[in-house]
């Protein structure tokens, strides 16, 4: 995490200004002309080797660069509920810039509607709770790995639009979803694996890290990075090169 946070600071000091200008140019109307499926191999840098700019391309990464076969796709047979078919539909058929919430008009033949409804329900439920109760503490409990449970206050100053509130909630929900996998329990409970939630504001080019101490997302900048590193080092004192992998749930 030390390397990642320092990377965010370097981003702020170098290419952030140019990227923010690109974000401003396309605003809410990106027109991507390609969708690329690639392996999650850390050596693969698709946006670099294609020299893609903001809004140019959808990128879907997974283990092994695999896309499920769907010979029975259609309204009267099983629809593949995987991220890859959902991404294909989003890129080819809908051309949207993002997904906000569960679909209101559900299409039984739509992989994307199935994907979002099945996997986004808890995030939308928490958003409704946040909107109803206001900026109060919300509990995120992990039954499989209790040590990973935490509390969070989403947008305590109530300044973010609804879609950004949902986006932050969704990041934290993914942390709990990661913890639900039994094969990770021994790594999480022994401290060999740590998970962190980051959120990116695409309009301002700001990276945020969820602070379990402060129970909220904190912008990563020159004024906060020292305290954030101190919190991480107090919670995860072992050197990261001996401590194992780091899992992320990041959204924009």
pLDDT value, residue 188: 93
Closest C-alpha among 237, 221, 216 to residue 168: 216
pLDDT at 98 (0 to 100): 55
Mean of the pLDDT values across residues 64-83?
A: 72
Mean pLDDT, rounded, for 196-217 = 96
Span 115-141, pLDDT tens digits: 888 899 999 999 999 999 999 999 999
pLDDT tier at 69, thresholds 50, 70, 90: confident
**What is the tens place of the pLDDT at every residue in 75-96?**
555 677 888 988 998 888 886 5
What is the arithmetic mean of pLDDT over 172-200?
A: 95
| 41 annotated to bind ligand | yes
Among 108, 191, 110, CA closest to 148: 191
Q: What is the pLDDT of residue 241?
A: 44
Tokens of 117: 């409804």
pLDDT (0 to 100) of residue 250: 56
Gap between the Cα atoms of 145 and 156, Å rounded: 27
Contact assessment for residue 234 and residue 242, using Cβ atoms and an 8 Å cutoff:
no
Classified by CATH at the fold level, domain 32-96+98-122 comes out as Beta-carbonic Anhydrase; Chain A (3.40.1050)
pTM above 0.75, yes or no: yes
Query: pLDDT grade, residue 243 (50/70/90)?
Result: very low
Are the C-beta atoms of residues 179 and 144 closer than 8 Å to each other? yes
pLDDT, averaged across the chain:
87
- What pLDDT score was predicted for residue 100? 62
Give the pairing of strands 206-211 and 194-201. Answer: antiparallel
pLDDT at 72: 54
Structural domain spans, the chain: 1-29+134-252, 32-96+98-122
Does the pLDDT of residue 251 top 70, yes or no? Answer: no
User: Given this model, what pLDDT does residue 99 score?
Assistant: 63
Where is pLDDT greater, at 47 or 98? Answer: 47
| 100 assigned ligand-binding residue | yes
**102 carries a ligand binding annotation:** no
Which pLDDT belongs to residue 242?
46
Residues 6+ apart with CB under 8 A from 244: 187, 192, 193, 194
Residue 252 has pLDDT above 70, yes or no: no
């Amino acid at each position: 995490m030390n390397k990642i946070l320092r990377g965010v600071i370097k981003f702020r000091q170098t290419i952030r200004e140019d990227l923010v200008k690109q974000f401003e140019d396309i605003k809410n109307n990106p027109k991507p002309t390609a969708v690329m499926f690639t392996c999650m191999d850390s050596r693969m840098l698709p946006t670099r080797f294609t020299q893609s700019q903001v809004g140019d391309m959808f990128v879907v990464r997974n283990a092994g660069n695999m896309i499920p076969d769907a010979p029975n796709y259609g309204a009267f047979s099983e629809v593949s509920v995987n991220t890859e078919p959902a991404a294909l539909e989003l890129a080819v058929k809908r051309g949207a810039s993002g997904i906000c919430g569960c679909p209101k008009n559900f299409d039984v033949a739509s992989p994307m509607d199935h994907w979002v409804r099945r996997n986004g329900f808890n995030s939308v439920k928490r958003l409704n709770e946040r909107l109803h109760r206001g900026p109060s503490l919300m509990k995120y409990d992990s039954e499989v790995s209790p040590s990973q449970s935490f509390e969070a206050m989403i947008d305590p100053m109530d300044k973010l639009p609804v879609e950004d509130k949902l986006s932050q909630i969704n990041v934290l929900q993914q942390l709990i979803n990661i913890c639900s996998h039994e094969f990770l329990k021994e790594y999480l409970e022994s401290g060999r694996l740590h998970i962190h939630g980051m959120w990116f504001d695409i309009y301002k080019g700001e990276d945020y890290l969820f602070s379990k101490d402060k129970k909220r997302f904190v912008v990563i900048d020159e004024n906060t990075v020292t305290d954030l590193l101190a919190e991480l080092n107090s919670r995860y004192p072992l050197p990261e090169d001996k401590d194992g992998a780091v899992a992320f749930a990041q959204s924009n």
